[in-house]
Amino acid sequence: MGDSAYTDSDRKHLLACTVSGAFITPLMSTMMNLALMFIGDEFSVGSHDLGYVNTMFLLGSVIAMVPSARLASIYGMRKVFLLGLVITGVTSFLAMLSPGFAFFVAMRFAIGFGSAMIGVTSIAMLTYVFPRERRGWAIGINTTSVYIGLSLGPTIGGLVSDAVGWRACFVIVLALVIVSLFFVSNFRKEVTPTPEEAMDWKGSALWSVSVFVLMFGVINITSGLAAGMVVAGLGLFLVTVWYLRRCGSPVLNLRLFGIRTFSRSSVAAFMNYGASYSVAFFMSLYLQSIGALTASQAGALMLVQPAVQVLLTARMGALSDRMGDKRILPTLGMLIVSFGVAMFLFLGTEFSLPYVVLMMLIIGVGMGIFSSPNTSVIMSSVPGKYRGEASGVVSVVRQTGMMVSMSIAMASIAVIMGSTDNLGPSTYGDFVDTMRLAFSICLGMCVVGILCSWFRGSTDEECLKLI
């Protein structure tokens, strides 16, 4: 079914349900960042263990995204979107009732599964239903909703945690799930790009196991078994790639990476999110410890970065639709992000409010310019039949970048702070050194992202033959 088969009413209903659905995950993530100090106090865990709150959520997302994208293309994207909402709602309710830290982290992992189903179908449905000349605009609106969630999350999370406790954050998530279910009920047409193909369960299992083993080893790099898990994970990952290249109907179409524009734009997205995602994690701890701010005050301050992204993202998506050279905006955005990341290297134990605001402002501008235009290039670089799979790759790249960013953060904490990772005046210097190590690595990722963005090339017939 082509985009001409959908009415303007269909498009409005779809945009409403995907926007409300896309709003949930970032809101939940940023609310948790401002709740970390409260969670750590309640469950008596340090900064390394607190990293699991976001990292396991992202790990669950990355594991689920690849099979979810394939299932959506075969059985229907609307069905998978609905299932994702239900899983997110149920596991959020259970997380709210967590009796201990291990159970809470397990629920965060499960919530990641549900959010993956929402994420991989949102952009894909918009890409199929909206015509090419309005696709960038629709994706921009969807991405803006993500940034609105990021914007409101710190403030809401800080206020709720200070007023009634961190568990109440999940009440807000449950309310949003209900709202999204209402909107999706008004979009009644199914989007099923490849109903004739079969599900690759073997590839799904290989992907899930290899990613879990590899990333769990990285985030616990200083433990005894971590090195072995990293080696085993890399081996399993290579086996997974070997299998996917030879499978007739793979769960992840690696042939898409034969399109230079697609592959290099995807790498640029990975580097962007890998370099910037841990900013919120580190800043939430930095502001409430060295900065001596309350959760509410930290939440208001952290509003700066995503608020700027909200103001720019939709406009940049629409501007990208009108520009001939699609490299300019994403590359400029990546360059600006690199300046913001570099500023982390000069943070110290003396808190400077203007410096922190400027740093977050710069990163917000860069992200706002980069995200929507780059996503539009990726989705437009593949034939229509493969847009569902391309959407899955976009989501996997984004979430994997975020997961790697958190893995770098946790590994840096483990290497420098070790077992003395409870934040206090005696460990502030080590915490600053940890941030400098992490963002030195992230700055290198920015450089790679800039190069991939500018030299991404253009889609041509020879590339399309690879598919």
SS (H, E, C) 283-315: HHHHHHCCCCCCHHHHHHHCCHHHHHHHHHHHH
Q: For residue 162, what pLDDT is reported?
A: 84
3-189+251-465 CATH, one of 2.40.160.10, 1.10.357.10, 1.20.1250.20, 3.40.600.10: 1.20.1250.20
Place of tokens 């015509």: 131
Other residues' Cβ atoms within 10 Å of the Cβ of residue 273: 24
Lowest-confidence region among 118-132, 294-308, 375-389: 375-389
pLDDT for 432 beyond 60: yes
Mean pLDDT of all residues in 19-46: 82
State mean pLDDT over 273-280: 88
Which DSSP string corresponds to 355-405?
A: HHHHHHHHHHHHHHHHHHHHHHHHHHTS-GGGHHHHHHHHHHHHHHHHHHH
Question: Mean pLDDT score of the chain, rounded to an integer?
Answer: 83
pLDDT for residue 4? 58
Provide the pLDDT for residue 20: 82
Please, which pLDDT band fits residue 462 given cuts at 50, 70 and 90?
very low
Over residues 37-54, mean pLDDT: 84
Find out whether 370 and 334 touch, Cβ atoms under 8 Å: yes
The confidence score (pLDDT) of residue 29 equals: 72
What is residue 198's DSSP assignment?
P
- Give the per-residue pLDDT at 459: 54
What do you get for the CA distance between the two ends of the chain, in Å? 21
Any idea where the domains of the chain sit in the sequence? 3-189+251-465, 202-250
Digit-coded pLDDT (tens) for 359-406 = 999 999 999 899 888 888 887 787 776 776 676 677 778 878 888 888
CA 374 vs CA 261, 320, 333, 449: distances in Å: 10, 9, 10, 11
List the one residue out of 7, 25, 11 whose CA is nearest residue 145: 25
Helix ranges (DSSP H) in 164-294 = 169-184, 201-219, 226-246, 260-276, 278-288
Residue 172 to residue 170: CA distance in whole angstroms: 5
Q: Which helix (H) or strand (E) holds 83?
A: helix 77-96
Per-residue pLDDT at 23? 82
Of the given ranges (45-59, 105-119, 333-347), which has the lowest mean pLDDT?
Answer: 45-59
Contact between 176 and 27 under an 8 Å Cβ cutoff? The reply is: yes
**pLDDT single digits (tens) 239-274:** 998 998 888 888 887 888 888 888 888 999 999 999
pLDDT at 140: 77
pLDDT at 341 over 90: yes
Q: Which residue has the higher pLDDT, 155 or 106?
A: 106
Instruction: Kindly state the tokens that stand for 351.
Output: 């808190």
Query: Are the C-beta atoms of residues 359 and 340 closer than 8 Å to each other?
Result: yes
Encode burial over 382-414: b for 16+ CB neighbours within 10 A, e otherwise: beeebbbbbbbbbbbbbbbbbbbbbbbbbbbbb
Which of 154, 270, 220, 226 lies closest to 409 in space, CA to CA? 220
Higher pLDDT, 368 or 155: 368
Query: Has residue 91 got a pLDDT over 90?
Result: yes
Angle formed by the axes of helices 387-416 and 101-129, nearest 10° = 150
Q: Which of 215-224, 305-314, 324-333 is predicted with the least confidence, judged by mean pLDDT?
A: 215-224
- For the record, the structure tokens of 238 come out as 């290579």
Predicted local confidence at residue 18, as pLDDT: 85
Q: Which among 115, 156, 121 has a CA at the least distance from the CA of 23?
A: 115
pLDDT value at position 98? Answer: 93
What is the Cα–Cα distance from 62 to 376, expressed in whole angstroms?
21
